[in-house]
A and B are shown apart, each in its own frame.
Chain A
Amino acid sequence: MSPGIDTGDTAWMLVATALVLLMTPALGLFYAGLVRSKNVLNTFMMSVAAIAIATVTWAAIGYSLAFDGSGALIGGLGNALMSGVDFAPREGTAIPELVFFAFQATFCIITTALISGAVVERMRFAPFLVFAALWSVLVYAVMAHWAFGGGWLISGGTLDFAGGVPVEMASGFSALAAALVVGARKDYGRQALLPHNAVYVLLGAGLLWFGWFGFNGGSGFSTGNPSVLAFTNTLLCPAATLVVWFALDLFHGRKVTAIGAATAIIVGCVLITPAGGFVSPGWAMLLGALGAVPSYYLIVWRTRTRVDETLDVLAAHGTAGFIGILFIGFFAQQTWNGVSDGLLYGNAGQLLDQVLAALAAPAYAFVMTFILLKAIGAVMPLRASDREEAMGMDVVQHGEEAYVTGEGAILLLPDDHEKVAVPVADPG
């Protein structure tokens, strides 16, 4: 073992990394339950694709741009292709940089996967792969550098414990841009497009919450106080969000909905993501309770608009991340976090630092994603034709169905392949 490594910290961070990686298949399950049965595999595959693409781009260049050096806007190329990433501890931590690299990679993966929620059921798979590759470098790595890697936000004093800036606001506002560029599903606003399996949604949300203990609890890179505080706040805050969500559901519809509850879990976890290691357990519960309200009403309002931001990534991640970042500016408490106080404890400057992040992050994410998708759209069609959309993306894009019965399926032996007529799923 290299000198300066703490075994306890390293053991925890190895586990936390695996927990965060689990969040991406969990997100796939959550999203898959929310779409129609003909688009389940395509929706899930976008999350699987994020694991593949974002890991490779992260190793190639993303990690280096995010964490090499302390340039204001972007990191250097010193760690490109993982050069110099080995068993020695990264400065400021007592864990091998390899573990730090893997932990941060899982953040890049899930953030890339999150955006898919805006474009499911109509975006073609190939342009999504290209988008994932470019976005994970040009948007995620850059914003991770700002908030985590020594860039202008973190060096200016903005507090972001586990990714209100590069994960939550970046994915939420990118999702809005993606929904605007790709456009609404053809039947959006004309027909009811309903979730096909609410149990997947609940199970996905539960697994996401489980993984989030690694996400927030690991963001102190140690087993020290900030990690422990963030870990327990990850239990408290979403529970408070759930309670308020139940109350809002009861007030508006007289029934507590299951898909609403699953959504509330995500919103609560997002709310505490930036603030986890900075606010007391009591304030974490207040954050969960207050933060439920804007996301709840944004979801209700958004479905009445022409914007088909299909799975409400903006309301769940963008808005809740925005609230969480601002909340630190008011309620951060040095006696709990050992770093800084918020406005309520006499430090108005902290609030200004937080406001700066809450303005810059949405602007950069939205504009970059808009440009990126317009550029990809100029080279290849972003979305499937209306007829393909009607057939469902599973058959059209993947040649598989999620709930296949096998009745009427004729086994094709290798020699038969050339005799097969052009399949309907692939006209032309």
Chain B
Amino acid sequence: MKLVIGIVRPEQANQVLEALYRAEVRGFSMSRVQGHGGEMDRVETYRGTTVQMGLSEKVRFEVAVSDGFVDRTVQALCEGGRTGEVGDGKIFVVPLDHAVRIRTGDSDEGAVTPVSK
């Protein structure tokens, strides 16, 4: 089991959702985060106060998958998130020790495999 973490541009989030859906990855969570990843900063001005915005809005996907699903999840995140410009984001794959589905008490592989109903 792995936890796949994908950090993407907010404007690409819908594309990522579509790609995940097509890859039959059904369970995930997403959250709004702010980050910095080497892209150039935006300069904004508010009534004469000029600021350099060091952090950009990003969306963070977290997908817990069984080993057989890792590649297609990573591929879906790449495909949906890529624009080719600096700032498209990163994907991290980390090992996952244990998972439990709260409703049934299913654990591990059973917990990260989508139920059909």
Q: Interface of A with B (CB < 8 Å)? A: 38, 187, 191, 387, 390-392, 395, 399-401, 404-405, 407-412, 417, 420-425
Contacts and interface: CB of A to CB of B under 8 A. Distances in A.
B32 to A, nearest CB: 11
Interface stretch (B44-52, B74-82, B94-102): B44-52
Interface string B1-39: 000000001011010000000000000000000101001
Contacts of A425: 42-43
A401 B50 CA distance: 13
Contact of B50 (A391, A405, A407, A417): A417
A408 B14 contact: no
Contact of A399 (B36, B40, B44, B54): B44
Contacts of A187: 14
Contacts of A38: 11
Interface residues of B, number: 24
B53 interface: yes
A408 B55 contact: yes
B41 A424 contact: yes
A408 B39 CA distance: 14
A338 B12 CA distance: 61
Contacts of B11: 38, 390-392
B55 A395 contact: no
A412 B40 contact: no
Interface of B: 9, 11-12, 14, 34, 36, 39-46, 49-55, 83, 85, 87
A395 B42 contact: yes
B83 A387 contact: yes
Contact of B14 (A191, A405, A409, A424): A191
Contacts of B44: 395, 399-401, 404, 409
A38 B42 CA distance: 14
Nearest 8 CB-CB pairs, A to B?
A: A408-B55, A390-B11, A408-B54, A409-B51, A412-B50, A410-B52, A423-B43, A424-B40
A397 B54 CA distance: 19
Contacts of B45: 399-400
Contacts of A395: 42, 44
A395 B41 CA distance: 12
A417 B45 CA distance: 12
A395 B11 CA distance: 14
Contact of B52 (A191, A390, A409, A422): A409
Given A387-B83, A387-B85, A412-B51, A407 B41 contact: no
A405 B44 CA distance: 13
Given A390-B12, A391-B11, A421-B41, 4 more contacts: A412-B50, A412-B51, A423-B43, A424-B41
A423 B40 CA distance: 6
Contacts of B42: 395, 399, 423-425
A334 to B, nearest CB: 56
Contacts of B43: 399, 412, 420, 423, 425
